[in-house]
Structure 1
């Protein structure tokens, strides 16, 4: 079975290349905003949508009138309309708000949808003769593993780990003052993996990040809480400065770097944890939590976002699939209330952290009890026994 994976590496363009990449991002952002306004005007006038192909045809005509559109490769320009199409689809399916105009900070990546060198038939325009030859796309790698981008040149990429699989596309992303290349590769799943343990249930929380059904506790690192005071001081200092001044721009970058550091720490923690779990357990059972509804509680929203439950679930899902395992979501109804020993329902408030069953005498940590119930519900779906 083939799966898609992303590999992220830092790239180091020179000053001239960074300026060119920044100008390309500005052009793509301008095209996105222009296309969004065109779609709105077209709908108001004709009561029907403007399709992606129509926008692409208009862009092709615009290239003859607007010279700076020819200063960058065509693939990232065309991909702008795919993004807009996805934004509308997400809105109509209830997954996102209505698309809005992008600011400078909102548009920070370029996508090259074709990558590498392909051997194909090419027709000579003058003679009509057809020959097979190698065709290099706008983005590819050279022999020294430099990223070659059309109209930009070679850029050094720090390949700190092997790039495994066939590269299908690459995304160039600006993050603060750093640049990254994200390679989307296609690779085979190893379906003959032998797992040390058959299954586990996971109950995520705020005080403890997660508790497994075998009693293993994973502490919550609370990265945001650790830098919250420093972040508040930096934001307060920024608010007192004159907007758009040089000092304001420097301080804004300092605030941005603090947020980036917290995000990187959280992502690193979640990647390592999800990888370890996906390599250990064939079946991983988790609660199907409605996180979007849970964060409406203003007392818990910050802690839930800091824990990163949603990102953890996404990482665990694709890592389990890639390693030959399976992540299964279980309905969360009464997993904390029901006794894992006798199945009796023991009512308790959220503040009660210990499960005490008067029917069978079971005394467990509340989250450990829930994790056992989650695993039991998951095993019942596959007709498996805990000792299988």
Structure 2
């Protein structure tokens, strides 16, 4: 079975290349906003949608009128309409809000949907013979750890680890003043993993990041809370400066770097925790939480976002799949209320952190009790027996 994985590496473009890529991002952003407005006007007039293919045909005509569109490769320009189409799809399926106009900070990446060198059959018009020759796409690998991009040149990439699998596409992403190349790779599932334990139930929380059904727990690092004082000080200093001045731009970059550091710390933590679970357990059972509804509580929203439950489950899902295991989402109904020993429902408020069952005398940490119940429901769902 094939799976998709991303490999992210830092790249080091020169000054001219950075200016060119910034210009390309601006062009793509303008194309996205223009396409969004065109779809809205077309619907108001005709009561029907404007398809991606019609937008691409219009873009081809626009290249004759606006030569600036010809200064960049066509793939990132066309991929703009894929993003818009996906944004509408997410909106209609209830996963996101209605698409909005993108600001400068909202559009940070260019995607080359084809990558590498491909052999193609080319027919000679004069002789009629068919020859096989190599065709290089707009993005491909060069020599000495360099990435070749059409109309941009060669850029050094720090390949700190090898790429396993076939590269299908590459995304160039701007993150503050740094640039990254993200390779989307197609590879086979690792089916040789020998799992030490059959299954576990995982209950995520705020006081403790996660509690497993065997009683072990993972402490919540609270990266945002630890950096909050620095962020407040930096943002307060930024608010006192004249917007648009050189000092304001420098201070804005400092604030941005603090946010990026917190995001990187959280991402690294989630990757390591999810990797450990995916290598240890064949079946990992978690609650199918509706995080969007939970963050409506203004007292808990910041802590929930800081914990990163959604990102943790997404990472855990693809890592389990890649290692031959499986992540199973369980309905969260009464997992904290029901007793894991006798099954009797013991109602308790969120502030009560200890489960005490008067029927059988079981006393457990609230999250540990929930993790055991999650595993039991998962095992029943698959018809498996618990491991001793």
**Higher mean C-alpha deviation, range 33-42 or range 118-127:** 118-127
Match of 1:23 in 2: 23
Deviations 1:45-100 (A, max 9, x none): 22221111111111111112211111111100110111111111111112111111
Deviations 1:286-331 (A, max 9, x none): 0111111000000000000000000001000000000000000111
Change over 3 Å in CA distance of 1:128–1:49 after alignment to 2: farther
Aligned-residue offset at 1:217: 1.1
Distance 1:124 1:142 in 2: 28
Pairing 1:305–2:305 present: yes
Q: How does 1:123-138 map to 2 (within 5 A)?
A: 123-125=123-125, 127-138=127-138
Aligned-residue offset at 1:337: 1.0
Deviations 1:265-303 (A, max 9, x none): 000000000000000000000011111100000000000
Q: TM-score, normalised by structure 1?
A: 0.98
Aligned-residue offset at 1:215: 0.6
Match of 1:353 in 2: 353
Match of 2:55 in 1: 55
SS at structure 2 position matched to 1:364: strand
Match of 1:225 in 2: 225
Q: How does 1:130-209 map to 2 (within 5 A)?
A: 130-209=130-209
Aligned-residue offset at 1:128: 4.5
Distance 1:54 1:228 in 2: 47
Distance 1:141 1:100 in 2: 35
Name stretches of at least 5 consecutive residues in structure 2 with no aligned partner.
Answer: none
Match of 1:260 in 2: 260
Name stretches of at least 5 consecutive residues in structure 1 with no aligned partner.
Answer: none
Change over 3 Å in CA distance of 1:126–1:241 after alignment to 2: farther
Match of 1:373 in 2: 373
Match of 1:321 in 2: 321
Cα RMSD for the two superposed structures? 1.1
Q: TM-score, normalised by structure 2?
A: 0.98
Match of 2:83 in 1: 83
Pairing 1:234–2:234 present: yes
Match of 2:92 in 1: 92
Match of 1:292 in 2: 292
Distance 2:155 2:354 in 1: 56
Q: How does 1:330-341 map to 2 (within 5 A)?
A: 330-341=330-341
Match of 1:32 in 2: 32
Match of 1:215 in 2: 215
Distance 2:127 2:58 in 1: 31
Match of 1:281 in 2: 281
Distance 2:277 2:52 in 1: 41
Distance 1:35 1:126 in 2: 42
Distance 1:332 1:205 in 2: 13
Aligned-residue offset at 1:125: 4.8
| Runs of 4+ that moved beyond 4 A | 125-128
Aligned-residue offset at 1:127: 4.8
Match of 1:122 in 2: 122
Q: How many correspondences in the alignment?
A: 388
